[in-house]
Chain A
Amino acid sequence: MTDAGRHPRITLLTQSEVKEITGFVGNFHVKVLKRARYVKEKECTACGDCATVCPVVVPDEFNVGLSSRRAIYSPFPQAVPSSYAVDINHCLGHNPIICGKCIEKCSKRCIDFNMNDEELSFDVGTIIVATGMEPFDPKALDEYGYTRYENVLTSMEFERLINAGGPTHGHVIRLTDRKIPRSVAFIQCVGSRSPQRGHPYCSNICCMNTVKSAIMLKEHYPEIEVKVFYIDIRAFGKGFEDLFRRSKGMGVRYIRGLPGSVRQDAAGQDMVLTVENTATNELETYRAEMVILAVGLEPPAEMKHIQEMLALQKTSDGFYLEAHPKLQPVDSASRGIFFAGCAEGPKDIKDSVTQASAAAARAMRLMNPGSLTVEAITAEVDEELCTACGLCAKVCPYKAITVDVKARVPAKVTEASCSGCGTCSAECPVGAIRMNHFTDEQIEAQIDAILAEEPQKQVLVFACNWCSYAGADFAGVSRLSYSSANRLIRTMCSGRIHEKFIWRAFEKGAPVVLVSGCHIGDCHYINANHFTERRIKRVWKKMEKLGLRRERLGLEWISAAEGIRFQKVMDDMENLRRTVTPDEIEATQQILLNERTKATRK
Chain B
Amino acid sequence: MQKPESHDTARIGVYICHCGSNIAGAVDCEAVAAYARTLPGVIHARDQGYTCSEPGQAQIKQDIREFGLNRIVVASCSPRLHEPTFRKCVSEAGLNPYLMEMANIREQCSWVHSLDREGATTKARDLVRSAVARARLLDVRTELEVPVRRSTLVIGGGVAGIQAALDLADAGYPVVLVEKQPSIGGIMAQLDKTFPTMDCSI
A11 adjacent to chain B (CB < 8 Å): yes
Smallest Cβ distance from B139 to chain A, in angstroms? 7
**B residues in contact (CB < 8 Å) with A:** 1-2, 78-81, 98, 104, 106-109, 111-116, 119-120, 122-123, 126-127, 129-134, 136-139, 141-198, 201-202
Contact A123 to B123, CB < 8 A, known contacts A15-B182, A80-B184, A306-B155: no
Interface string of A159-179 (1 = CB under 8 A from B): 110111110001000000000
A1 to B175, CA, bound (A): 15
What are 19 pairs between A and B in contact, CB < 8 Å? A1-B184, A7-B166, A128-B152, A163-B191, A239-B197, A240-B195, A242-B196, A352-B160, A371-B147, A374-B146, A437-B141, A449-B129, A476-B107, A477-B107, A481-B112, A481-B114, A481-B116, A484-B122, A487-B123
8 Å CB contact of A349 from B2, B141, B155, B201: B201
Q: Decide if B175 touches A9 in the complex (CB within 8 Å).
A: yes
Residues of chain B lying within 8 A (CB to CB) of residue A208: 195-196
Q: Decide if A364 touches B151 in the complex (CB within 8 Å).
A: no
8 Å CB contact of A373 from B109, B143, B157: B143
Residues of chain B lying within 8 A (CB to CB) of residue A74: 183
Most chain B CB within 10 A, of A79, A211, A352, A364, is at: A352
A357 to B160, CA, bound (A): 8
Q: Decide if A490 touches B189 in the complex (CB within 8 Å).
A: no
8 Å CB contact of B144 from A12, A159, A170, A416: A416
Smallest Cβ distance from B100 to chain A, in angstroms? 11
Interface string of A129-172 (1 = CB under 8 A from B): 11111010000000000000000000010011011111000100
Beta-carbon nearest neighbor of B155 in chain A: A129
A127 to B155, CA, bound (A): 8
Interface string of A377-408 (1 = CB under 8 A from B): 11010100000000000000000000000000
Tally of A interface residues using CB under 8 Å:
140
A30 to B115, CA, bound (A): 50
Q: Decide if A472 touches B144 in the complex (CB within 8 Å).
A: no
Contact A124 to B149, CB < 8 A, known contacts A156-B190, A376-B98, A479-B114: yes
Contact A372 to B146, CB < 8 A, known contacts A212-B195, A357-B167: yes
Q: Decide if A12 touches B108 in the complex (CB within 8 Å).
A: no
Q: Beyond A18-B178, A25-B148, A76-B189, list 16 extra A-B contacts (CB 8 Å).
A: A4-B166, A10-B177, A12-B157, A32-B178, A127-B152, A130-B155, A340-B163, A348-B195, A356-B164, A360-B168, A364-B173, A373-B146, A441-B137, A442-B134, A453-B129, A481-B116
Q: Decide if A15 touches B159 in the complex (CB within 8 Å).
A: no
A165 to B181, CA, bound (A): 20
Q: Decide if B163 touches A240 in the complex (CB within 8 Å).
A: no
Smallest Cβ distance from A468 to chain B, in angstroms? 11
Q: Decide if A14 touches B149 in the complex (CB within 8 Å).
A: no
Q: Decide if B112 touches A479 in the complex (CB within 8 Å).
A: yes
A179 to B139, CA, bound (A): 79
A554 adjacent to chain B (CB < 8 Å): no
Q: Decide if A81 touches B183 in the complex (CB within 8 Å).
A: yes
Q: Decide if B163 touches A353 in the complex (CB within 8 Å).
A: yes
Q: Decide if A359 touches B120 in the complex (CB within 8 Å).
A: no
8 Å CB contact of B196 from A156, A239, A341, A486: A239
8 Å CB contact of A472 from B108, B119, B130, B153: B108
Contact A357 to B164, CB < 8 A, known contacts A16-B178, A372-B145: yes
Residues of chain B lying within 8 A (CB to CB) of residue A473: 78, 80-81, 104, 107-108
Q: Decide if A129 touches B156 in the complex (CB within 8 Å).
A: yes
Q: Decide if B164 touches A340 in the complex (CB within 8 Å).
A: yes
Beta-carbon nearest neighbor of A366 in chain B: B148
Residues of chain B lying within 8 A (CB to CB) of residue A32: 176, 178
A583 adjacent to chain B (CB < 8 Å): no
Beta-carbon nearest neighbor of B179 in chain A: A14
Beta-carbon nearest neighbor of A354 in chain B: B163
Interface string of A1-25 (1 = CB under 8 A from B): 1011101111111111110000001
Most chain A CB within 10 A, of B80, B114, B191, is at: B80
Residues of chain B lying within 8 A (CB to CB) of residue A469: 78, 80
Residues of chain B lying within 8 A (CB to CB) of residue A125: 148-152
Most chain B CB within 10 A, of A30, A128, A306, A324, is at: A128
Q: Decide if B146 touches A416 in the complex (CB within 8 Å).
A: yes
Residues of chain A lying within 8 A (CB to CB) of residue B201: 349
Beta-carbon nearest neighbor of A134 in chain B: B187
Q: Decide if B195 touches A243 in the complex (CB within 8 Å).
A: yes
Contact A341 to B156, CB < 8 A, known contacts A372-B146, A415-B144, A476-B112: yes
Smallest Cβ distance from B149 to chain A, in angstroms? 4
**A residues in contact (CB < 8 Å) with B:** 1, 3-5, 7-18, 25-28, 30, 32, 37, 62, 64, 74-76, 78-81, 85, 122-133, 135, 156, 159-160, 162-166, 170, 208-209, 211-212, 215-216, 237-240, 242-243, 306, 324, 327, 340-343, 348-350, 352-353, 355-357, 359-361, 363-364, 366-378, 380, 382, 415-416, 434, 436-437, 439, 441-443, 445-446, 448-450, 452-453, 458, 465, 469-470, 472-473, 475-477, 479-490, 567
8 Å CB contact of A130 from B126, B146, B164, B166: B164
Q: Decide if B155 touches A128 in the complex (CB within 8 Å).
A: yes
Contact A449 to B149, CB < 8 A, known contacts A356-B167, A376-B143: no
A130 to B158, CA, bound (A): 7
Q: Decide if A1 touches B113 in the complex (CB within 8 Å).
A: no
A439 to B104, CA, bound (A): 20
A340 to B157, CA, bound (A): 11
Q: Decide if A238 touches B123 in the complex (CB within 8 Å).
A: no
Residues of chain B lying within 8 A (CB to CB) of residue A1: 162, 184-185, 189, 202
Residues of chain A lying within 8 A (CB to CB) of residue B193: 212, 216
Q: Decide if B137 touches A445 in the complex (CB within 8 Å).
A: yes
Smallest Cβ distance from B174 to chain A, in angstroms? 5
Contact A3 to B112, CB < 8 A, known contacts A127-B155, A370-B147: no
8 Å CB contact of B126 from A4, A240, A453: A453
A129 to B165, CA, bound (A): 11
A62 to B183, CA, bound (A): 11
Beta-carbon nearest neighbor of B140 in chain A: A376
Contact A450 to B167, CB < 8 A, known contacts A9-B172, A14-B184, A132-B160: no
Residues of chain B lying within 8 A (CB to CB) of residue A382: 1
A364 to B170, CA, bound (A): 11
Q: Decide if B175 touches A449 in the complex (CB within 8 Å).
A: no
In the A-B complex, the 6 residue pairs with the smallest Cβ-Cβ separation, listed nearest first, are: A341-B160, A476-B107, A484-B119, A130-B161, A26-B148, A79-B183
Residues of chain A lying within 8 A (CB to CB) of residue B145: 371-373
Residues of chain A lying within 8 A (CB to CB) of residue B190: 62, 64, 76, 156, 159-160, 163
Smallest Cβ distance from B58 to chain A, in angstroms? 23
A292 to B108, CA, bound (A): 47
Beta-carbon nearest neighbor of B115 in chain A: A481
Residues of chain B lying within 8 A (CB to CB) of residue A324: 80-81
A32 to B156, CA, bound (A): 13
Beta-carbon nearest neighbor of B147 in chain A: A371
Q: Decide if A445 touches B164 in the complex (CB within 8 Å).
A: no
Residues of chain A lying within 8 A (CB to CB) of residue B132: 449
